[in-house]
Structure 1
Amino acid sequence: MIDATVLITYSLVVLGFVFIPGPATLLTVARATTSGTKVGIATGAGITVGDIIHTIMAVVGISAIIATSATLFSIVKYLGAAYLVYLGIKGIIEKAPVDLGLGRVPITAPQAFRQAILAEVLNPKTALFFLAFLPQFVVPENGYVIAQLTILGVLFALIGFFSTIVYSVAAGGLGNFLRRNPTVLKWQGKVVGGIYCALGARLALQER
């Protein structure tokens, strides 16, 4: 199995990596700010599930197929980009609730969870990252390579979930303050929608 030294080194590297703001962090913060901490955590949980799916894909070799097939990579990439842009446009054109005192929020936690899973799974860059990153910490001499890859992938997802919880709590508290301002309520959907559209465009323009 995995050596304790390797596991500690890997955990520290991942911990530093996941706290660097990236697309997953932006999505989580955007949701937490506009819809509350619970929705932000649900978004993070969805991303975590997506990362576990990518771990399974890397273990069984699907990610390798994506890596070697330019056509398949492009299909997955553009599907992911289109989905993010769709969410963005939807957020821009939908009218945000003007009274959150009744418990209404732009998106519910289950909706955010499902959207985050799909957005993460449809990101081929994440698939390639798992395919390239995880094997660097595998020691074949220790045997059970598949088990090592699985443990490393799940650990990455869990550490990532921890980081999204931290960001969700911070952003959720800020969002509670901002949402007391009617102007913020009016523009929050457009801001979040713009973030999603930008992430979609970024994904579409990325090369392998």
Structure 2
Amino acid sequence: MSPEFLITSLIIVATPGTGVLFTLVAGLSRGARASLVAALGCTLGIVPHAVAALTGLAAVLHTSAVAFETLKFLGVGYLLYMAWRTFRETGSLSVEHSTAAPSARRVIASGVLVNLLNPKLTIFFFAFLPQFVGPDEPNALLRMLQLSAVFMLLTLLIFAFYGAFAASVRQHVTSRPRVMTWLRRSFGGAFAALGVRLAFATR
């Protein structure tokens, strides 16, 4: 495994984005288990992008303005919906208990959508993975599958770390309503900002 691939992947995964934000919200509002489920959902959301890159569908997104813009604005809409849902909570960020918490399937589905509706991730795989596969490598497809699996594993581990950290400070944060209100507004604003940023993304 190339050290350059590992270092680059770590930097990309660890840089806060929608997946990290989603996992932090899950950890703060619902605890360690929910944050791990959220991290798993975000990781699974990478699978379609990896498959698209490996099958050449990323080239369609790269060359077709309509396909790219359609997927992009679906992602923008979802991020703005998450921002609205966060802002809609009255008072502090809601802290859900096990009896009222959403199912693991619902959390995973939300995590998948967070990464699925981001066309830049598909193009990222399309441009990123081939750089670490030799042009004459006999098993290039297998090699790219291995690299994709490593990238997903790093995503799961790092996101789980973010979520575990959020869950570990949950009790200290949730006991302070003003802090929770500030966090709710910050998370809502961050989701909105990421949506706006994606709206202005180009191929």
TM-score norm. by structure 1 comes to 0.85
Structure 2 equivalent of residue 168 of structure 1: 163
Q: Distance in 2 between matches of 1:189 and 1:15?
A: 28
Match of 1:57 among 52, 56, 66: 52
Report whether the alignment pairs 1:12 with 2:7: yes
Structure 1 equivalent of residue 145 of structure 2: 150
The unaligned stretches of length 5 or more in structure 1 are none
Larger displacement relative to structure 2 (129-138 or 96-105): 96-105
Larger displacement relative to structure 2 (96-105 or 44-53): 96-105
Alignment deviations for residues 84-117 of structure 1 (CA, whole Å, 9 cap, x no partner): 1112112221347899585466755432221110
Alignment deviations for residues 39-82 of structure 1 (CA, whole Å, 9 cap, x no partner): 22222111111112211111111111101111111111000000
Q: Distance in 1 between matches of 2:179 and 2:99?
A: 15
Which residue identity does 1:143 align to in structure 2?
P
Deviation, structure 1 residue 14: 1.4
Identity of aligned pairs, percent? 29
The unaligned stretches of length 5 or more in structure 2 are none
Over aligned residue pairs, what C-alpha RMSD do you find? 2.5
Which residue identity does 1:83 align to in structure 2?
Y
| Contact 2:92 2:178 (8 Å CA) reproduced | no
Structure 2 equivalent of residue 115 of structure 1: 110
TM-score norm. by structure 2 comes to 0.87
Structure 2 equivalent of residue 46 of structure 1: 41
Which residue identity does 1:204 align to in structure 2?
A
Larger displacement relative to structure 2 (36-45 or 20-29): 20-29
Structure 2 equivalent of residue 159 of structure 1: 154
Q: Distance in 2 between matches of 1:135 and 1:115?
A: 29
